[in-house]
Amino acid sequence: MITSDLSGKTALITGGGSGIGRATAELFLASGATVAVNHLPGDEGAAAAIEAMRSAGNVISAPGDVSDAALGPAMVRAAIDALGGLDILINNAGTAVSPVPIDFKDLDAMTDEFWAATINTNLLGAFRCTREAAPELKAARGAVVSTASVAGLGLRGSSIAYGASKAALINLTNSLARALAPEVRVNAVAPGLVESPWTSQWPAERMQKTKESTLLERLAQPADIAEAMLFLAAGASYITGQTLVVNGGQA
């Protein structure tokens, strides 16, 4: 495990109860940060994950739905109050809506409700959380890192709506870097296909084909993405407005 020195730093990680978010929370704790882990209210799996993290460092629960225009910012405010400030915001909460990929030709599946659920979490959630945290991040000369996707850069994602939301998040990353400069650095990580609870129901054939298309001949693990998050949040002091692709050299 690669770590950095985050002693005395505070971090809020949205969608931190499983997958990439949990791996990032665990890595930040190992690096000495105090971490607020956001999760959906009533998520027993996330509650168990947070309890398991307590032996690794100072972690607090930050329940709240980032897709909600009122509850998302309220969660950020409560987390900042509990942490006593904020140095790092990780916008990781996201949704594919469907547990399995949806063929791009199936336009009828892209209902208004599907689009709304996707955009409200993947794009607006990240914007609202960043907007709410901006004063504290500026005061700390902190950093924002968001979880984008190679689906936002032209590779096939789980659906048309998902890819579009991640493309918008990449654009938002650049815009927020301009808006919060020079005090706050804003970047994103664009993972390839990650073996996580999200992809546990994906077709085995698609998983295997993706694996074979990577130069490293394996799918990403959540810890691989967490390392990139740490790099952009704790170091990389002259990098802002960028999206770092982490996909094993996928063609």
Share of the chain above pLDDT 90, in %: 84
Q: Taking residues 219-229, report their average pLDDT.
A: 95
* Confidence class for position 3, pLDDT limits 50, 70, 90: confident
Can you give the pLDDT at residue 111? 98
162 belongs to the catalytic site: yes
Residue 251 has pLDDT above 80, yes or no: no
Give one word for 212, left, alpha or beta, with left for phi > 0 and alpha for psi -120 to 50. alpha
Question: Which architecture characterizes domain 10-245 according to CATH?
Answer: 3-Layer(aba) Sandwich (3.40)
Share of the chain above pLDDT 70, in %: 100
Q: Mind giving me the DSSP string for 170-230?
A: HHHHHHHHHHHTTT-EEEEEEE--B-SGGGTTS-HHHHHHHHHTSTTSSPBPHHHHHHHHH
Residue 98 Cα distances to 20, 61, 222, angstroms: 18, 26, 20
Distance (Å, whole) CA 39 – CA 197: 15
Q: Taking residues 214-225, report their average pLDDT.
A: 93
From 127, 162, 198, 231, active-site residue: 162
Can you give the pLDDT at residue 165? 98
Q: What is the tens place of the pLDDT at every residue in 153-167?
A: 988 889 999 999 999
Q: Taking residues 233-240, report their average pLDDT.
A: 96
Q: In the 3-class helix/strand/coil scheme, how is 93-109 assigned residue by residue?
A: CCCCCCCCCCCCCCHHH
